[in-house]
Chains A and B, each alone.
Chain A
């Protein structure tokens, strides 16, 4: 019984960890779906979002201890941070990626790495190298149900990632804008012939993706802390999650994220190997999944045309 509880707890931990990956993977998947390139700077936008969120939240809160205002300040800070990151994402796209849109597909990858260097080191310069704590805007006493504990912020993270997934799916499938995005993703030049302003669509995708990164960054910083290089490994894991689920697919990002989190959490004790090998388990799982399904779990298998 104790062992069962223990493993159930690992499972719960895995889902909460995975929902952070999923939230960030959503942003990755959006940008990739349109432009088909790995935006290495996505993780660093997440970091900027976390810093902006932290700074605005602390500034708004001041010395107030009112529970309502704490929650309100948190959501205002999140919106400000989303707006800031959306602008930042659009700016980066305009400056560093747009000139490379017709170059070979590795050129923007390099440009993205350059942007990532600038952002993470710029943040370390401005904010210092130490980690910071994002104070909980609500009482974060763990809730214990049948021997399993979970904290309110983890429930919030899960809820937000599910809501974001649903909203994004509806947006992409049901709105005119979403239709334009899908068209651009399918074939940019043809969609331009149909009167779609592809530049505007791409800009907007970056804005949405970066705003999602800001939300992900703020929610991740409860668990991961805020520091200048937080985007690198978190971003990488989120990307892995997006690929497992089938990159470009919104529900896939969610499934991939949760799966990765659960594997990381439960893999080492299940196999009886040291926990420090959890990355090996995560990446090995990635490779095995890709070998079985080369386009990810929900990815579309595109037949190559001769």
Chain B
């Protein structure tokens, strides 16, 4: 029996060392490359978010490299799979930071892994920019943690004010998934909307991965809500829209940046007309977003980026600019330079970071006509009232 154990261990070590030589060659940070890590779910239920973000980051890096890199040095992205779990994200982090010696990290994509990794980044002193973890606590972990996605408190504030002040709604219902993203937005909108004097007549919940929402929709139908707010991921939103149609409901739908994924028009294109959603703002007279969309589509077989991928693209450019200014792979210097980012002009407009690492940005409002989102302008809440910025 002991022999078997010993044999098994020897085989494992042998296999490991066999691959280790080949592996270390490709992973060692050599002198003329800056290595950036990416953590996100690349397999499993929500892999499309991770894959899109890593694709966008890869695209940004190949653009930078094609333009000569940073001071002649090339950038390289190592994408690791978080499996969407805390354990997986920590393992990916350990691999990137200790085996690959990356100089900064983009990701993780979801909030809970982001919270776990943020704490490690803060302790180990390595910059982390998440393109999509919206929960308000992510940046409160400490220094070194940034995001290129608005905190859900910012987005829900603009959303609630827009619904109440601009659209004149007084009674809405929410149907949200029990995850950090949807719950953060829905409870945020509920709180502010009621403060403004409106009524939230139903807060219906579901689980991520649910495919049947007819019970919740039936409950909402029995209230006198004027509109339904659905701050969920694409697939859930698509299902809700279609099943509302099947149940003969014709209330207007309101949504969040999860709706910015063009996939929604493939899944529920017949039912998207009239949906209003709050998403990233667009800079006026800037072609960065359209150029990025075209380049992404060309590079990845006609797939289109969602707003999180756009955020990842911006994050990569912000990081590259910071590395350029820092002039070295020194993690502290990169952190100082990321913090010093001012008026960065990205695909999502002008980006600045607040002291805690949150993104300061206006929010854009879109209305879908058929299957085309029409930009209604970008908004900010100033002194308790919504103001159109441009």
What is the CB-to-nearest-CB distance from A77 to chain B, in angstroms, rounded to a whole number? 19
Which residues of chain B from 30 to 74 have a CB within 8 Å of any chain A CB?
43-45, 47-48, 51
A275 touches B239 (CB 8 A): no
Please tell me which stretch of B13-21, B206-214, B251-259, B280-288 contacts chain A, meaning at least 4 of its Cβ atoms lie within 8 angstroms of it: B206-214
Q: Quick check: is B290 within 8 A (CB to CB) of the other chain?
A: no
Please tell me which stretch of A128-136, A181-189, A247-255 contacts chain B, meaning at least 4 of its Cβ atoms lie within 8 angstroms of it: A128-136
Task: Please judge, given known A-B contacts A269-B219, A275-B205, whether A225 and B248 are in contact too, CB under 8 Å.
Answer: no
Complex Cα distance A13/B178, Å?
A: 22
A229 touches B205 (CB 8 A): no
Chain A residue numbers with a CB within 8 Å of B207 are 276, 278-279
Complex Cα distance A231/B215, Å?
A: 23
What is the CB-to-nearest-CB distance from B303 to chain A, in angstroms, rounded to a whole number? 8
B43 touches A124 (CB 8 A): yes
CB-contact partner of B218 in A13, A124, A131, A132, under 8 A: A13
Which residues of chain A from 50 to 90 have a CB within 8 Å of any chain B CB?
none
Task: Please judge, given known A-B contacts A129-B48, A129-B51, A133-B266, whether A278 and B215 are in contact too, CB under 8 Å.
Answer: yes
Complex Cα distance A2/B268, Å?
A: 29
A225 touches B204 (CB 8 A): no
CB-contact partner of A130 in B48, B211, B247, under 8 A: B48
**A interface, over-half SS:** helix
Q: Quick check: is A17 within 8 A (CB to CB) of the other chain?
A: yes
Q: Quick check: is A190 within 8 A (CB to CB) of the other chain?
A: no
What is the CB-to-nearest-CB distance from A273 to chain B, in angstroms, rounded to a whole number? 10
What is the CB-to-nearest-CB distance from B217 to chain A, in angstroms, rounded to a whole number? 9
Closest to B235 in A: A131
Q: Quick check: is A151 within 8 A (CB to CB) of the other chain?
A: yes
Q: Mark B152-195, 1 if CB is under 8 A from A, else 0.
A: 00000000000000000000000001100000000000000000
Q: Count of B residues near A, CB < 8 Å?
A: 36
Q: Quick check: is A199 within 8 A (CB to CB) of the other chain?
A: no
Chain A residue numbers with a CB within 8 Å of B205 are 274-276
Complex Cα distance A265/B218, Å?
A: 10
Chain A residue numbers with a CB within 8 Å of B210 are 278
Please tell me which stretch of A3-11, A29-37, A100-108, A209-217 contacts chain B, meaning at least 4 of its Cβ atoms lie within 8 angstroms of it: A3-11
Q: Quick check: is A264 within 8 A (CB to CB) of the other chain?
A: yes
B44 touches A275 (CB 8 A): no
Q: Quick check: is A224 within 8 A (CB to CB) of the other chain?
A: yes
Q: 29 A-B residue contacts at CB 8 Å?
A: A2-B222, A9-B214, A9-B218, A13-B218, A124-B43, A124-B47, A128-B48, A129-B43, A130-B303, A131-B238, A132-B267, A133-B267, A133-B268, A142-B245, A142-B248, A149-B246, A225-B211, A225-B235, A227-B235, A228-B47, A229-B44, A264-B215, A265-B215, A274-B204, A274-B205, A275-B205, A275-B206, A278-B207, A279-B207
Residues of A whose CB lies within 8 Å of any CB of B are 2-3, 6, 9-10, 13, 17, 121, 124, 128-133, 142, 144, 149, 151, 223-225, 227-229, 233, 264-266, 268-269, 274-276, 278-279
Residues of B whose CB lies within 8 Å of any CB of A are 43-45, 47-48, 51, 177-178, 204-207, 209-212, 214-216, 218-219, 221-222, 234-235, 238-239, 245-248, 263, 266-268, 303
